[in-house]
Amino acid sequence: MFDRNAFLLGTEVQKARGVGPTLRRFVKYFRKYRWALLVVGLFVILSTGMRVVTPLLTGQIVDCYLTTGELAAENCNLVEDPTVLTSGERLRGIGVMVAIIAGLQIAGAFMGSRTFFFMSWAGYHVLRDLRKEVFEHVHRLTLGFFSKNEAGDVMSRFTNDTDTLQQIIGFGLVQVVQGGLFIIMIVFAMFSQSIPYALISLVTLPLMFVATQWFSAQARKAFREARKEIGSVNANLQENISAVREVQAFNREDENIEQFRESNAANRDANIKAQAFSSALAPTLEALSYVSIAIVAGVGGFAILNGGTILGTTISLGLIVTFIAFVQQFNQPVQQIALLWTNLQSAIAGAERIFDIMDENPDLQDKEDAISMPQIQGHVQLTDVHAEYNVGEPVLQGIDIEAKPGETIAIVGPTGAGKTTIINLLPRFWDVTQGNVMIDGHDVRDVTRKSLREQLGIVLQDTFLFSDSVMENIRYGRSSATDEEVMEAAKIARADEFIVKLENGYETVLGERGGGLSQGQRQLLAIARVVLANPRILILDEATSSVDTRTERQIQAALDNLLNGRTSFVVAHRLSTIRNADQVLVLKDGKVIERGTHDNLLEEGGFYHDLYMSQFRRQEEIATGESMATVAD
C-alpha cells in the first residue's frame, strides 16, 4: 500500500534509527525530572570515585605497612619513611586504612541504592508520560493508519515494547552511565600511577571494543526482528480471540492453531538468535579480562625480578596489587556495559517501534487557519467529487450530490460501488482527491474536524459497544447528558423496552463489544447514542439491517421523528428506508447512474428497477405478509 502521508503531505516521514538518535529522543522525556537526574548524577560521581579510590588505598597498605623493601618505600605516599615503622604503627595504620575503605564502601552502597531509587522514580514517570503521549497520538491518527496496521501489533507497542524500556530504564541506564564514568576514572588513575604500566594493562581494550561493537550490532538486528515477531503474535492472538465465534462456526480451530504455532515459532527463533549474540559476548570479554590480568601480573613480576623498573617506572608489589585490582574493576564494568548494551538493543528496537507510531502524521490534518464549523443548517453539496484509497485506483468518479436542509438521501448500489466512501467524506474520515464537499457553503477541509464531527451523528452497520454499563454506552453520544436524558433517548430509539428487562437495567455491564445482547439490541443502543447526541446531519450506514421486520418498523418510526428537520444520508438495503427518501442515488462503479424518488426510478425501468425486482421486492412481500399476520392476530 502506498505511503498516504507522502502522497497527501508531500513529505516522507523521517524516523530515528539506531542507538544514538533513539536514545537522544528518549532522553528528552527526562527534562521534566531533571532534578532527579541531578541527584542521580551526583551520587554516581561520588560512589564511583569511592570505588576507584579503594584499589589505590589497598596498594598503599601493601607498600606502606606490609612490605619493607626500597621499591615499596619509593611508592608509599602515606608516610615519609615506612621502613622505620614499628609493628604497632603498622597495625594501627592498617586498621585506619581498613576502616576508611569500609566507610567508603558503606557510603558507596548507600548512594548506589539511592541512585537506583531516584532513577527508577524518574523512569516510571517517563514511561507513564510516553504511554500517555502515544495513546493521545494514536487517537489523532486517521482511518488510513488503522487500515494498514493490525490492532494487535499497535497494542504490542503499548505493552511489550514499553516493557522492554521499563526493564532497562531504572537499572540499565544507571549501570551504563556509572560503568562508563568508572572506566574513565580508572584509566585516569592508572595513567597517574604509571603510563607504561597502564598502556600494558589496557592492551586488550581494543579487542574488547571490537567484540562489543560486532556482537551488539548483530544483537540489535536480531532484537528488531524479535520485536516485530512478538507484534505479529499479539496481532494473531487478538484477531483470533475477537473472532472466536467465526473460528468455531467454520471449524477453523486446527488451522488457526497451526497459524499461531508458526507465528509463535518465528518469535521463538528470533529471540533465540538475539540471545545467542547477547550470551556470546560475556564469555568473550571475560576471557580477554583474564588475559589482561595475566599480562599485568606477568609483566610486573618480571620487572620486580629484574630490578623493579619497566620503561623507567618503578614497579613495587603494592603497585602490582593496585593494577590487578584496577584491571579487575575495569573489566567488570566493561562486561556489564557490554551485557547491558546488548539488552539495550532490545529496548532500542522497542523504542524505535514506539517512535514509529509517534512519527506517523495523520493522513488528514486541520489547516493552520481552519475555523470552527458554525451551527449546521444541513445544506450539503458534493461537486465533481473524486476519491481513491490507492493511487490510480478510483473509488468515486465525478460525484455530484445536493441535499437541502431536512432532506433524506438514500444511497443504493452493488457492493463496491462507493456508497460507504461517500458517507466517509462527510465527517472527513477521508478526503477527496478532486472536487469539494461543502456543508452550508463551508468546505469540510476549511473547518476543524472536531467542530464538524460534533454536529454529525453516525450509526454504522457494525455497532461497537464498550465493556461498560448500558447507561455509559448510550452516554457516549454526549458525555454531559443526565441519566434522565439517556433514558429518554433510549425510549425514542425503542431500546428502553429491552433495557429494563436486563438484570440491572441501565446499570447492566456489557461484555466485550456488547456480549450478551443480540445484534438488533446492539443496533438499538447505537441509535440511542445518536438520538442523545441530537446532531444536525445524520449518517446511517445500514442502521436497520441487523433487526427483524417488526423491530425495523419500530426503529423506522423513531428515525422518522429524529430525521424530521435534519439532513440525512442513508446507505440502505432495506426498502422501508428507501421508500421514504426525498432522493435516491443509485451508484455503480463509483458513479451516480440514476437519481430520483423510489417511484420515479421504478417507472424508468433502469438499473434501480432491476435492483428492486431482484432484492427489494422480496422484502416488500415479507413485510406485507407479516403485516397481514399481525392484523389477523
pLDDT at residue 618 in the model:
58
Residue 402 has pLDDT above 70, yes or no: yes
> How is residue 565 written as a grid cell?
428537520
Q: Judge contact between 394 and 416, C-beta under 8 A.
A: no
Percent of the chain surpassing pLDDT 70: 77
- For the chain, give every domain's residue range: 15-358, 377-455+536-555+563-633, 462-534
Amino acid letter for position 318: G
pLDDT at residue 6 in the model:
37
pLDDT at residue 364 in the model:
73
Q: Judge contact between 223 and 346, C-beta under 8 A.
A: yes
> How is residue 40 written as a grid cell?
542521580
Amino acid letter for position 4: R
> How is residue 178 written as a grid cell?
556509572
Q: What are the Cα distances from residue 275, in Å, to 106, 169, 258, 342?
A: 35, 20, 25, 9
Statement: 462-534 belongs to CATH 3.40.50.300: yes
More confident site: 231 or 117: 117
What are the tens digits of pLDDT across the range 260-274?
788 778 878 877 777
Residues near 138 by beta carbon (within 8 Å), at least 6 away in sequence: 154, 357
What's the CA gap between 486 and 489, in Å, rounded?
5
Alpha helices for 194-316 (secondary structure H): 195-201, 205-242, 244-249, 253-305
Other beta carbons within 10 angstroms of residue 197's beta carbon come to: 25
Average confidence (pLDDT) over 472-496? 84
Residues near 5 by beta carbon (within 8 Å), at least 6 away in sequence: 11, 12, 13, 360, 361, 363
Residue 8 has pLDDT above 60, yes or no: no
Return the closest-CA partner of residue 471 out of 490, 457, 454, 456. 490
What's the CA gap between 340 and 275, in Å, rounded?
12
Average confidence (pLDDT) over 65-71? 68
> Are the folds of 377-455+536-555+563-633 and 462-534 the same?
yes
Beta-bridged to residue 443, according to DSSP, are: 438
Residue 452 has pLDDT above 80, yes or no: yes
pLDDT grade, residue 559 (50/70/90)?
Answer: low
pLDDT at residue 112 in the model:
78
Radius of gyration, CA atoms only, the chain: 37
What's the CA gap between 427 and 445, in Å, rounded?
10
Q: How far is CA 60 from the centre of its chain?
A: 55
pLDDT at residue 629 in the model:
42
Q: What are the Cα distances from residue 227, in Å, to 156, 307, 537?
A: 9, 59, 44
User: H or E element: which one contains 539?
Assistant: strand 537-541
What's the CA gap between 226 and 605, in Å, rounded?
61
More confident site: 25 or 311: 25
> How is residue 553 written as a grid cell?
418498523
Phi-psi region of 5 (alpha: psi -120 to 50; beta: other; left: phi over 0): alpha
Highest mean pLDDT among 112-121, 208-217, 432-441, 511-520: 432-441
pTM over 0.85: no
The helix/strand count (H/E) of the chain reads as 25, 12
Residue 87 has pLDDT above 70, yes or no: yes
pLDDT at residue 556 in the model:
67
Beta-bridged to residue 387, according to DSSP, are: 396
pLDDT at residue 342 in the model:
62
Amino acid letter for position 157: R
Domain 15-358 CATH superfamily: ABC transporter type 1, transmembrane domain (1.20.1560.10)
In terms of CATH architecture, what is 377-455+536-555+563-633?
A: 3-Layer(aba) Sandwich (3.40)
Task: Kindly report the average pLDDT of the chain as a whole number.
Answer: 76
Return the closest-CA partner of residue 111 out of 33, 40, 36. 40
Angle among Cα 265, 267, 272 to the nearest 5 degrees reads 95
What are the tens digits of pLDDT across the range 514-538?
666 777 788 888 888 888 888 888 8
Residues near 36 by beta carbon (within 8 Å), at least 6 away in sequence: 118, 119, 121, 122
More confident site: 54 or 20: 54
What's the CA gap between 445 and 468, in Å, rounded?
34
Return the closest-CA partner of residue 74 out of 297, 323, 321, 314. 314
Phi, psi dihedral angles at 455 (to 5 degrees): -110, 10
Residues near 57 by beta carbon (within 8 Å), at least 6 away in sequence: 97, 100, 101
Amino acid letter for position 424: N
pLDDT at residue 311 in the model:
64
Q: Judge contact between 168 and 343, C-beta under 8 A.
A: yes
Phi, psi dihedral angles at 517 (to 5 degrees): -105, 150
The sign one gets for the Cα dihedral 172, 173, 176, 177 is negative
